[in-house]
Amino acid sequence: MTATSHPRSSPHRLRLLLAGLVAVFSVLFGFGGSAAWAASSAPIDPTTAQESLAVWLRQASDKAGIPDVSFSVKGSGFDATFTTDAEGRATVGLPGPGTYTVEIDGSTVPATAGAVPSASNPREIDVSATNQNVPVNFLAVAGDAGGAAATPAPATSASTPATGTDTGAGGGTTSGGSADTSDPATTTVDAAAGGTGFWGIAFSKLVTGLIFGLLLALAAIGASLIYGTTGLNNFAHGELVTFGGLVAFTAATLGAPGWLGILLAIVIGGAFGLVQDTFIWRPLRKRRVGLIPLMIVSIGLALSTRYIYVFFYGGDRLALPNDPSPFLVLGPVSLRFTDVMGAVVAAVVLVAVAFVLLKTKLGKATRAVSDNPSLAAASGINVDSVIRSVWIGSAALAGLAGVLVGYYQSLRWDTGSAILLLIFAAVTLGGLGSAFGALVGSIVLGVFMNLATLVIPENLKYAAALVVLIVILLFRPQGILGKRERIG
Amino acid sequence: MDFNFIWLSLGEIASPTTAAYALATIGLVVHFGFTGLLNFGQAGFMAVGGYAFAIATLKFDAPLPMAVLATILASALFALILGIPTLRLRADYLSIVTIAASEIIRLSVKTSELTDITGGATGLNGAAKTFNAINPFPKGNYGFGVLTYTADQLWVRVVGWTLVALACLVVFLLVRSPWGRVVKGIREDEDAVRSLGKNVFSYKMQALIFGGVLGGLAGMLFILPRSLQPDNYGTQLTFFLYTIMLLGGATTVFGPVIGSMIFWVTLSLSDGLLALGINSGILPITSVQQGPVRFIIVGVALALLVVFRPQGILGNKKEVFFSA
């Protein structure tokens, strides 16, 4: 049928995997440092240059251009300083295709305009041959953002949600294409900007990928548990993710501190799962509706829920209060407070989930139902209540993932649905229905997606992840940790 | 008050978009309704067909027959590539692979590196030039009232619905042929058909290619009256087609046609009514909030249909295999 695989003991495989991860880490933390920049070069006339950049610095709040700000463009042996014009624009001629680093000189930004978030400044831009006027947009944020805040703690200083950082501005406009905000691939904040040299960039992409993988795992474990216990490929799982982000956003708008927003997202997210199970999925199970109609119901639910979000929150990006100043610097990688906290919270929660699944009665019951519902029922497990718990837990995890992704990348009505296929890919990669497989799958996928951008265009990394999904189904449809019989 | 929207909504019955959706849904009926293949990537087939036609016409100056041939070959090839790894797997695997493949197509064609060929994120414009060049209708206006069409608009409607009628006829005959019986047998019980000595994989592949080609032709029809935009081929296009299919009847030949007409008239009418309500101040929502409402309606309709009337309008309850 498919590529044969001999059953191996999974603890052994897990150990191998852990050993591999440790090895990767020890290698990666061994390097770092920065290359010296080339000496200053003469400006090139943008009208005659084959390649050029169109830099535009604006105010985040009213999109007004900020004039007379100097910035440097470095890369490919080119190093020059320029100044924005009255509209905040400047066109820079380049010596040839390559990767350029554009950095706004923060000291020349007027104090009234605020500062350019360090997450987007400096920024690396890939310029392909004959790409002219490649957009490089910066937004300056008023307020204390980017200032010399000694104790950046956005989680507790969430009182100014209105001055959100438009962190995605130009984040994906790398090579002349117009930014498309609907794909996660192009809305990713390059939290690890500032990498130097190939290994520096690779390292920063690895860190970005690991963090994203952890966040993805939160959502993927839930999707995997739901699949395992009910057989449903929940196409509305992305909406559970978005829901958590929206809860946190609403809490922040009402002046709640960040930690409260996260807590509310988990609690209200879980309640949303309970409501869904009680009013939609449980009645459908009672009606003995087949799996394919259930899948289609989840699609309908996803479609309407997503657009109910648009109805109430609009189609624009929603800003969660975030401090863009660097919090942790690892060699060429600088991370914001929220990036670090997101990864830590995700890791802690994932360990807690693993504990619940392995050690508690509920966890064992969940795995029993996942394995064989009839046998579980026969041995006295209340399958329905297990499934209800799974829905609550999965929705709560998805809600947490939503807030953290909202902090990490950006929040929009389609934040969750944009990563839905990545969730599916992670679940399939790890092995359908296996919670730990989903964890491994997510991290592998997150790292792969980001490392892939070393060789493919940034905006294709999402497609690359989907290609992985298809290739896995070709050669190992049961996934990394999945059981062979699941392919049916 | 302006009630022209009622006439415009009724005009949707014959619009080329309705015809394109109907044609794509007929392809989906071949996949899902008759063979039981859970194809969630029909949007990808439409994209492949549309791009093949537009690129052949605009970049290679191919004459119309060659461009149509390119459309058919490209969508058949896409089906082949998709089918080889997935047709042996379970239905829900196929659904995830097809939805992923259609997203790969959409994301790939819009990258700036391919702008010279695919037009990048802006898409391609003017693919209908060879099609309109052979328009037999003399220039002028046809129709009455608000439903007045130019010669080109009339031409695309005539050709579109002719295509739909032909597709209906072919599918109608195929389903009643020995081939159709085998394919329906696969839908009901794959192992039983295999035990009769039939090559299930090959039949499934034929069905995937045939339905995919119909999807590709629908993609071509879809861009004749408009420009080619990569973001038109997102996953929700596929979900619209599923709604249309379940509305008309997933196991019927003419269901997609009825379904597509009802779908577009309803959307258009609800848009018109909402706009009327908003402009006259009856509804307490803004005109920005009007946009999402149609999607909310479609989503709810899709969920309710599959649970409460899985056979659709024309279907036979006994043939609803998937609610078992």
Domain ranges, ordered by start, for chain A = 51-140+151-180, 201-487
pLDDT band at A482 (very low <50, low <70, confident <90, very high): low
Q: Which residue in chain A has the smallest CA separation from B32? A: A292
C-alpha–C-alpha distance, residues A459 and A462, integer Å: 7
A302–B306 C-beta distance less than 8 A: no
Class of domain A51-140+151-180: mainly beta
Interface of A with B in 272-301 (CB under 8 A): 284, 287, 289-293, 295-297, 299-301
Q: Which of B35, B94, B97, B200 to mutate to test the interface with A (most CBs of A within 10 A)?
A: B97
- The pLDDT value recorded for residue A63 is 67
Beta strands in B118-273 (DSSP E): 141-144, 147-150
- The pLDDT value recorded for residue A178 is 33
A485 against A148, higher pLDDT: A485
Which whole number is the average pLDDT over A324-346?
82
Question: What H or E segment, with its residue span, contains residue A124?
Answer: strand A123-127
pLDDT averaged over every residue in chain A = 75
What tokens were used for B143? 């129709």
- The pLDDT value recorded for residue A473 is 76
A434-448 per-position pLDDT tens digit: 788 889 999 999 999
Asked if pLDDT for residue A6 goes beyond 70, the answer is: no
Contact A237, A223 (CB under 8 A): yes
**Do strands A51-59 and A89-94 pair parallel, antiparallel, or not at all (unpaired)?**
antiparallel
- The pLDDT value recorded for residue B310 is 83
- The pLDDT value recorded for residue A484 is 57
Asked if pLDDT for residue A130 goes beyond 70, the answer is: no
pLDDT band at A365 (very low <50, low <70, confident <90, very high): very high
Q: Which residue in chain B has the smallest CA separation from A288? A: B324
- The pLDDT value recorded for residue A133 is 72
pLDDT band at A175 (very low <50, low <70, confident <90, very high): very low
Chain B residues touching A175 at Cβ < 8 A:
112-113
pLDDT band at A337 (very low <50, low <70, confident <90, very high): confident
User: What fold, for A201-487?
Assistant: ABC transporter involved in vitamin B12 uptake, BtuC (1.10.3470)
Low-confidence stretches of chain B (pLDDT beneath 70): 1, 320-324
Q: Which of B102, B306, B311 to mutate to test the interface with A (most CBs of A within 10 A)?
A: B306
The full DSSP string for A23-92 is HHHHHHTT----PPPPPP---B-TTT-SEEEEEEEEETTT--B--S-EEEEEETTEEEEEE--TTSEEEE
Asked if pLDDT for residue A265 goes beyond 60, the answer is: yes
B101–A473 C-beta distance less than 8 A: no
B31 against A127, higher pLDDT: B31
ipTM confidence: 0.87
C-alpha–C-alpha distance, residues A340 and A285, integer Å: 41
Angle at A396 between CA A393 and CA A401, to 5 degrees: 125
C-alpha–C-alpha distance, residues B213 and B99, integer Å: 17
Q: Which residues contact B167 (CB under 8 A, 6 or more apart)?
A: B23, B26, B214, B217
A251 against A90, higher pLDDT: A251
C-alpha–C-alpha distance, residues A45 and A55, integer Å: 15
- CA dist A421 → A10, B46, B234 (Å): 26, 20, 12
- The pLDDT value recorded for residue A47 is 64
Contact B54, B267 (CB under 8 A): no
A484 against A28, higher pLDDT: A484
pLDDT band at A4 (very low <50, low <70, confident <90, very high): very low
- The pLDDT value recorded for residue A42 is 66
Interface of A with B in 170-209 (CB under 8 A): 175-178, 180, 182-183, 185
pLDDT band at A195 (very low <50, low <70, confident <90, very high): very low
Min distance B108 CA to chain A CA atoms (Å)? 7
Closest CA to B38 of B168, B148, B161, B186: B186
C-alpha–C-alpha distance, residues B207 and B37, integer Å: 9
Q: What percentage of chain A exceeds 70 in pLDDT?
A: 75
SS3 content of chain B, % helix, strand, coil (to 5): 75, 5, 20
Which whole number is the average pLDDT over A98-112?
77
- The pLDDT value recorded for residue A31 is 34
C-alpha–C-alpha distance, residues B43 and A471, integer Å: 21
